[in-house]
Structure 1
């Protein structure tokens, strides 16, 4: 248990910085919509972050942008890059096989982080770089990870998410909806992106299918295929791509397991046997 109550101002400032990094260019209005904070608080946080050098203001467009100083906050974290490097050649071959882009992502406390991607540079719809954080409960990779991770860990994650306010965590407070959804993912072997999330982030044009990257009960990550509505249906994608996607996940899991044994490193900092 923590010794003190959380510093609310710091929590709000970090939330503003998180959204800024996700949006790349933000306005007070877009930050208000994403965080629910009142606009006066947002302006105060932005001016503080600007003073500290983490944010710059584009006066002509009244927009705010993260600066290179934000990179200093992530210098101590490289697990997603490590896993992404192992997965990259396997994912590259998979992209050539199916023709659609994929991501691999790892769990990070209350969200997922893109570790590697085969999305084409410059694509507006599929633009997500390694290091991008996204929600668990509304995405195919988040759902795939949560459905297949060990039961004790799953319960801890859901409890944590339920305590975080906002639309992205609402499902964690609705166990009668979440439990059947996760059971269905386990039964089918894959998860789908939530339609509301697709509408919010991709204007409803993109959908995704995700599966876990696991070795037995150890879930290292999850991997998806990103596809366009109107080009391929869920039924056709499952029929044509699910088996290759699961095989790719198995190949990555084997490569990661071999790498862990070679380096005596394991997820969560535990030493491999």
Structure 2
């Protein structure tokens, strides 16, 4: 219990900023709907946040968006680090069982970021250290994440990806095809690396399977298994590895959920 009453104005300002950050582009009306605050209060909060440099006002359409300064508020929080630390022993054990490398990754803006990898140092094809960023729609992990995230988040991610010229982002420019692809992935419970990405990055020599790492109420990220095409065909890989991957992903999600539920870890929680 705190020793003082919360500063209501600060609480309201933080809630407005949280919604703007979530919506990416907000209006007074959308903020009113999301927060329940009256519009006059919202306008005062917006003007204060704009004065302090955390939001910017746009005229066409009339709206507010977060600025780069808003990123400073999360400078002390590093989701890939704590997720990677918990995933390390689980994925290392899995690597010994299947003899192919795995990663776990989280979403950051319009890219996936590796939190932990079991790839062997020195391999040119598999060299992707923690912190490495890679595309959502080109990769099995990105596709698995997108298929299992909430519809509103799917729409926001797809809208950003549609602006990028890479061939694997063509899917984002075809909403009907994207929706069908994501439904297929969700039904199967796994995704496969896009062929155009494999050809562009690995010369077609590498392919991968990805599954979500999720609890019923929380999507943490996704994990993969990467293989050489000449050694493991997609048909054989799906048959051999997908059931094991789903079990490992479930264990990862349970371990991450337990960490969040532990005392003293409130700074790791996010909505």
Q: TM-score, normalised by structure 2?
A: 0.70
Cα distance in 1 for partners of 2:96, 2:245 equals 13
Matched with 1:79 is 79
Say whether the 8 Å CA contact 1:220–1:267 is kept in structure 2: no
Cα shift readout 1:199-256 (whole Å, capped 9, x = no counterpart): 1101110000000000014210100000001111111111111111000000000000
State the SS of the aligned residue for 2:180: helix
Task: Evaluate the alpha carbon distance shift between residue 174 and residue 260 of structure 1 in structure 2; reply closer, same or farther with a 3 A threshold.
Answer: same
Mapping for residues 1-273 of structure 1, pairs under 5 Å: 1=25, 2-3=56-57, 76=76, 78-262=78-262, 263-265=264-266, 269-270=270-271
Alpha-carbon distance, 1:85 to partner: 0.3
Can you give the 5+ residue segments of structure 1 that lack an aligned partner in the other structure? Answer: 6-73
Cα distance in 2 for partners of 1:212, 1:232 equals 22
Can you give the 5+ residue segments of structure 2 that lack an aligned partner in the other structure? Answer: 1-24, 26-55, 60-73
Say whether the 8 Å CA contact 1:103–1:225 is kept in structure 2: yes
Task: Evaluate the alpha carbon distance shift between residue 265 and residue 165 of structure 1 in structure 2; reply closer, same or farther with a 3 A threshold.
Answer: farther
- Largest Rg, 1 or 2: 2
Cα distance in 2 for partners of 1:169, 1:77 equals 29
Alpha-carbon distance, 1:176 to partner: 2.4
State the SS of the aligned residue for 1:269: coil
Cα distance in 2 for partners of 1:180, 1:250 equals 25
Alpha-carbon distance, 1:108 to partner: 0.6
Say whether the 8 Å CA contact 2:168–2:196 is kept in structure 1: no
Q: TM-score, normalised by structure 1?
A: 0.70
Alpha-carbon distance, 1:169 to partner: 2.9
Cα distance in 2 for partners of 1:153, 1:252 equals 22
Cα distance in 2 for partners of 1:221, 1:197 equals 20
Count of aligned pairs between the two proteins: 203
Cα shift readout 1:89-120 (whole Å, capped 9, x = no counterpart): 00011001111000100011101000000000
RMSD of Structure 2 on Structure 1 (CA): 2.1
Alpha-carbon distance, 1:166 to partner: 4.3
